[in-house]
């Protein structure tokens, strides 16, 4: 599936939009003044491949902490600004290469013009981030209660101001807790504007509920070519948000981050504990080529024959397990030897 063409912006030389990859981002979960915790989180996010990191900047008292983060972070930073335009100016003074402003609570046009002027001078990208939970009632009234249209109207008002000031280094975003409203709003925005789109389902929730809701919403948009950056908004760690985002992109065939793991759902035919096999194989995925498919199967039925297309596979047998590549058996071992055998085979690739 191909993205709709859009303008391109650069945040610390990282391209967003046009023909660049769909970027995976997250947001720091701890306050700026907890510096050690912040750097620990940044390190973990860098290790899992986070490409853009949004950080709440709610008070000028945290200016020195933001200075520190921008200096130390190994991931491009986007300062998240609400209510006070002075916070946006301070964030840019700290060296933030991008900021997010919320039209729902940033209504001072004079302050916005000052923000635009500094953004031009410093080459800062601005994300117009509209959220259904913070929209002014006037937008709902104009949209006659249609949440998707209300989101679009809020984005439109802000873009008009940006265009009046000849500012084009924009990313736009419209999120709601409703998948349908978010999909409709972003479909309309893609038809109206050429700017890169950041997509996600806001406040998706915890655990399985949040993962499914985010995955459905984001996948629906991506499948229509909508979306240049994504964030999976979970009541969970930022690392999990990034991992789920990557899995969505990989499942859709948009990007590959690691070898693809497939495994059978198990049934009464299984010869071995498939979960145990998965646990033995998963740590090795990062050592295999990204374009490989790795199969973990419970019996001969789903083993080398049904998974014959796999670049590497393991299946249960009456006497233990069998290893195969493209349907050809390359080794056998007992259940007790699986961990060491997997290691030796993968080191031989």
Q: 107 or 223: whose pLDDT is higher?
A: 223
Please name each of the domains of the chain with its CATH number: 8-251 (3.20.20.20), 260-347 (3.30.413.10)
**pTM of this structure:** 0.93
Only one residue has tokens 């802000």, namely: 158
**Residue 207 pLDDT:** 94
Mean pLDDT of the chain: 93
Other Cβ atoms closer than 10 A to 122: 12
Q: Report, as an integer, the average pLDDT of 289-303.
A: 87
Give φ, ψ of 4 to 5 degrees: -65, 140
Distance between CA atoms of residues 42 and 69, nearest Å: 9
Burial class (CB in 10 A: 0-12, 13-18, 19+), 317: middle
Q: What are the pLDDT digits (tens) for 136-169? A: 889 999 999 999 999 999 999 999 999 999 999 9
Evaluate if residue 2 carries a pLDDT over 80. no
Confidence of residue 1 (pLDDT cuts 50, 70, 90): low
CA distances from 244 to 80, 210, 233, 234, 278 (A): 22, 10, 10, 10, 18
């Amino acid at each position: 599936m191909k993205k709709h063409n859009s303008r391109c912006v650069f945040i610390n030389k990282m391209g967003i939009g046009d023909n660049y990859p769909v970027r995976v981002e997250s947001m720091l979960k701890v306050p700026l003044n907890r510096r050690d915790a912040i750097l620990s989180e940044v390190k973990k996010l860098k290790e899992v491949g986070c490409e853009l990191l949004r950080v709440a900047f709610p008070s000028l008292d945290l200016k020195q902490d933001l200075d520190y983060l921008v200096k130390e972070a190994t991931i491009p930073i986007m300062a998240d600004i609400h209510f006070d335009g002075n916070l946006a100016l301070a964030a840019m003074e700290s060296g933030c290469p991008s900021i997010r402003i919320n039209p729902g609570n940033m209504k001072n046009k004079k302050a916005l013009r000052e923000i635009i002027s500094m953004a031009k001078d410093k080459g800062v990208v601005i994300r117009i981030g509209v959220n259904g939970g913070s929209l002014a009632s006037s937008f709902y009234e104009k949209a006659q209660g249609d949440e998707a249209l209300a989101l679009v109207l809020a984005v439109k008002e802000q873009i008009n101001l940006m265009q009046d000031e000849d500012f084009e280094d924009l990313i736009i975003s419209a999120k709601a807790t409703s998948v349908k409203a978010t999909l409709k709003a972003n479909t309309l925005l893609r038809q109206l504007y050429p700017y890169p789109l950041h997509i996600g389902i806001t406040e998706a929730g915890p655990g399985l509920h949040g993962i499914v809701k985010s995955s459905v919403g984001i996948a629906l948009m991506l499948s229509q070519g909508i979306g240049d950056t994504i964030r999976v908004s979970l009541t969970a760690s930022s690392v999990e948000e990034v991992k789920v985002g990557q899995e969505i992109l990989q499942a859709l065939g948009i990007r590959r981050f690691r070898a693809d793991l497939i495994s059978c759902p198990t049934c009464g035919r299984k010869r071995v504990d498939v979960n145990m096999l998965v646990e033995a194989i998963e740590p090795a995925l990062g050592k295999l080529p990204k374009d490989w498919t790795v199969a973990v199967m419970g019996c001969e039925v789903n083993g080398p024959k049904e998974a014959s297309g796999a670049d590497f596979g393991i299946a249960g047998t009456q006497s233990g397990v069998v290893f195969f590549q493209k349907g050809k058996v390359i080794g056998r071992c007992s259940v007790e030897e699986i961990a060491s055998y997997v290691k030796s085979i993968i080191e031989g690739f």
